[in-house]
A and B are shown apart, each in its own frame.
Chain A
Amino acid sequence: MAKRFEISHVMDFIIGDAQAERAVPPTGFTARLTLFSAAVMAFLAVFALALSVSAGRLSERWSAELAQSATLRISAPQGQMQAQTDAAMSVLETTPGIESARVLDAAEQRKLLEPWFGPDVPLDSLPVPQLIEIVEADVGVDTEALRVRLAGEAPGAVLDDHTRWRKPLAAAASRLWFLGWLSIVLIFAVMGAMITLAANAALSANAKVISVMRLVGARDSYIVDAFVRRFTLRTLSGAAIGMVLGVVAVVMLPAARGEAGFLSDLGFAGAGWLWPLIIPALAAVVAFAATRAAARRTLKELR
């Protein structure tokens, strides 16, 4: 039957048994190695977490922003441009689900073309289509029905509901989110492997201690707890230090600005700053499990 989890067990574990602690000799090198590994891994985990959280946030924002907007592009001979624009506007005004529709003026269109053609684009002498910005209401628009109506009233109008932009952007952001979490899992796996190696080294170095303790009647749980507690607390301390340094590094990243894009937006927002707190706790759980498994394995070889 599984042992019942009780908070008093956790408290006993944290407080420890001073006598048992003394029985296992201090191991300076493995102690420093464990502390250092845990700190570095926690530092990296903060960045992976920040990447994942930011990517998730970005994915939601891009999807939301692009999902509620559409663009109508009217390409028509010079003489028909105004008539088709008016016809398209009257269709849009009577289409359910459209909150607003606005014809972009020449200055706005020039600004959109500036990155490609430079300033002072001679719009009048270029066959530039007229753009209409559409903002959808929360209920959404039946785009297929709208396309059919536009084809009848304004044949030069092409509706772009941003689907072809939205899908790859959302996919890229969600892949970043996934990679962030995968990195965290891998970081903790490496942390577990390092702690196992350090614990094995400590157990091998203390083979005589373990043998003497068994000879005088120590139960496995007594010996295991002495090692597990030591490695768990070391890892917890190291991971806490690494986590704090990681958070400080994230705080010190340049502030987010619209033109700086995704990189300057890397970090946590609001209650999201609490996320890094789980890193030391998870590290302690990994250390507990890894050391316990290593100690049990070693003890099985003794009778």
Chain B
Amino acid sequence: MIELEQVAYSYGEGELLSDISVSLTPGSFHFLTGPSGAGKTTFLKLCYGELVPTSGQARLFDRDVRSLTRDDIADIRRRIGVVHQDCQFLDHLPIADNIALPLTVAGKSVHSQDGNLSELMSWVGLRSRAAALPPELSGGERQRAALARAVIMSPDVILADEPTGNLDWEMSQRLLTLLVELNRMGKTVVIATHDIGLIRAAKSQVQARVLRIANRHLTVGADL
């Protein structure tokens, strides 16, 4: 599904990631850990084609990322849901329209009263907030809205970058439960986090693999 083979990535002259090899298979669950600035976000960006490796090979759905056109990348992003730490939204649109944005840009007509959308908003506990604008939402609500937007296209992969970074423990658990549910539905999930407590909590619910980035290298199945 997503394969990185001897991938390196450099910003300018400094190499951030080196000799990264990993395969994210369908239905797998991964935690990506490592100190701040180790390259977790860069790793995720390599996984959804926002960055191209400076060396090595990144394959997204069996296609070399270097051979992808801009339209190919757009199409692949419809199969990969991304939850960013800063949860970027279109601030002038109600949150329901923001959640439906992946459908909109794919040319699928969406109405805010659409059954699936309402169901999804209920699932993330935001049904009563459908008409609210993003700046009116709390941190937890924004994270859940970002998750709802990431999954509305029923993607094969969900990449979440520090999704619980701004949340309290209870809200973190709620978000984790949603991600575990998605994994049980067959989605591949990668959560970048340095919240060890969250990883331990998840291990009781799901068979997760830990990927650790430190000193430019990735260790698969690392001890916590």
Instruction: Collect the chain B residues with CB atoms within 8 Å of residue A148's CB.
Output: none
Q: With A217-B77, A217-B153, A218-B105 as given contacts, are A25 and B92 in contact (CB-CB < 8 Å)?
A: yes
Closest to A221 in B: B71
Instruction: Tell which of A20, A212, A221, A222 touches B89, judged by Cβ atoms closer than 8 Å.
Output: A212
Q: Which of A17, A212, A214 contacts B90 (CB 8 A)?
A: A212
Q: A217-B77, A220-B74 are in contact. Are A303 and B50 (CB under 8 A)?
A: yes
Q: Is B101 part of the binding interface, using a Cβ–Cβ cutoff of 8 Å?
A: yes
B135 to chain A, nearest CB (A): 13
Q: Are A23 and B93 in contact (CB under 8 A)?
A: yes
Contact in complex: A303, B88 (CB < 8 Å): no
Whether, in the assembled complex, B104 has its beta carbon less than 8 Å from a beta carbon of chain A, the answer is yes
Contact A218 B74 (CB under 8 A): yes
A218 smallest CB distance to B (angstroms): 4
Most chain-A Cβ atoms within 10 A of its Cβ — which of B51, B74, B106, B153? B74
Residues of the B chain whose Cβ atoms lie less than 8 Å from the Cβ of A215 = 77, 82, 84, 88
Contact pattern, B 68-109, Cβ under 8 Å of A = 1, otherwise 0 = 001101110110001010001111110001000110111101
Residues of B within 8 A of A213 (CB): 101, 105
Known A208-B88, A209-B90; contact A216-B105, beta-carbon cutoff 8 A: yes
Q: Which residues of B contact A303 (CB under 8 A)?
A: 49-52, 70, 73
- B110 interface hit (Cβ, 8 Å): yes
Q: CB-CB contacts of B146-160 with A at 8 A, as 1s and 0s?
A: 000100010000000
Q: A19-B104, A19-B109, A208-B88 are in contact. Are A216 and B70 (CB under 8 A)?
A: no
Task: Tell me which residues from 117 to 133 in chain B have a Cβ below 8 Å from any Cβ of chain A.
Answer: none
Q: Which one of B52, B88, B89, B102 lies within 8 Å of A217 (CB-CB)? A: B102
| Per-residue B-contact encoding for A193-218, CB less than 8 Å = 1, 0 else | 00000000000000011011111111
CA distance A23 to B90 in the complex (A): 7
Closest Cβ neighbor of A300 among chain B residues: B70
The total of chain A residues at the interface (CB under 8 A) is 23
B52-80 contacts to A, CB under 8 A, are: 52, 70-71, 73-75, 77-78
Contact present for A212 and B51 (CB under 8 Å): no
Q: Using a CB-CB cutoff of 8 Å, which residues 261-300 of chain A contact chain B?
A: 299
Contacts of B101 in A (CB 8 A): 23, 212-213, 216
The reply on A22 being an interface residue by CB < 8 A is yes
Q: Is A219 within 8 A of B70, CB to CB?
A: yes
Distance in angstroms from A171 CB to nearest chain B CB is 54
Complex contact B89–A214 (CB within 8 A): no
Q: Contacts of A220 on B, CB cut-off 8 Å?
A: 70-71, 74
* B106 & A23 in contact (Cβ 8 Å cutoff): no
| Contact with B78, one of A26, A217, A221, A299 (Cβ below 8 angstroms) | A217
**A228 to nearest B CB, angstroms?**
16
Contacts of A212 in B (CB 8 A): 88-90, 101
Q: How far is the CB of B136 from chain A (nearest CB, A)?
A: 16
Residues of B near A221 (CB, < 8 A) are: 71
Query: Is A217's CB under 8 angstroms from B105's CB?
Result: yes
Which of A17, A23, A217, A218 has the most chain B CB within a 10 Å cutoff? A217
Contact indicator per residue, chain A 133-154, by CB within 8 Å of chain B (1) or not (0): 0000000000000000000000
In the bound complex, CA of A224 to CA of B97 (Å): 20
Return A78 CB to nearest CB of chain B, in Å: 93
**Bound state CA distance, A219 and B106, in angstroms?**
8
Bound form: Cα–Cα A256–B178 in Å: 81
| B105 cross-chain contacts in A, Cβ below 8 A | 20, 23, 213, 216-219, 222
B14 CB → nearest A CB, Å = 20
List the A residue with the shortest CB-CB distance to B84: A215
Which residue in chain A gives the minimum CB-CB distance to B89?
Answer: A212
* Cβ contact within 8 Å between B110 and A19: yes
Residues in A2-52 with C-beta less than 8 Å from chain B: 17, 19-20, 22-23, 25-26
B89: chain A residues at CB < 8 Å are 212
CB within 8 Å of B: which of A100-151?
none
Query: Do A216 and B149 have beta carbons less than 8 Å apart?
Result: yes
How far apart sit A211 and B82, CA to CA, in the bound complex (Å)?
Answer: 13
Are A219 and B110 within 8 A (Cβ)? no
Q: Report if A211-B88 is in contact (Cβ < 8 Å); known contacts: A19-B104, A216-B149, A218-B74.
A: yes
B25-42 contacts to A, CB under 8 A, are: none
- Residues on A with C-beta less than 8 A from B49 are 303
19 contacts between A and B (CB under 8 A): A17-B107, A20-B104, A22-B97, A23-B90, A23-B101, A23-B105, A25-B90, A209-B90, A212-B90, A214-B77, A215-B77, A215-B82, A217-B78, A217-B153, A218-B74, A219-B70, A219-B75, A221-B71, A222-B105
7 nearest CB pairs, A to B: A218-B105, A217-B78, A217-B77, A25-B92, A216-B102, A219-B74, A19-B104
Apart from the given pairs A212-B88, A219-B105, 9 other A-B contacts in the complex at a CB distance below 8 Å:
A20-B104, A25-B92, A212-B101, A214-B77, A216-B77, A217-B102, A217-B153, A220-B70, A303-B50
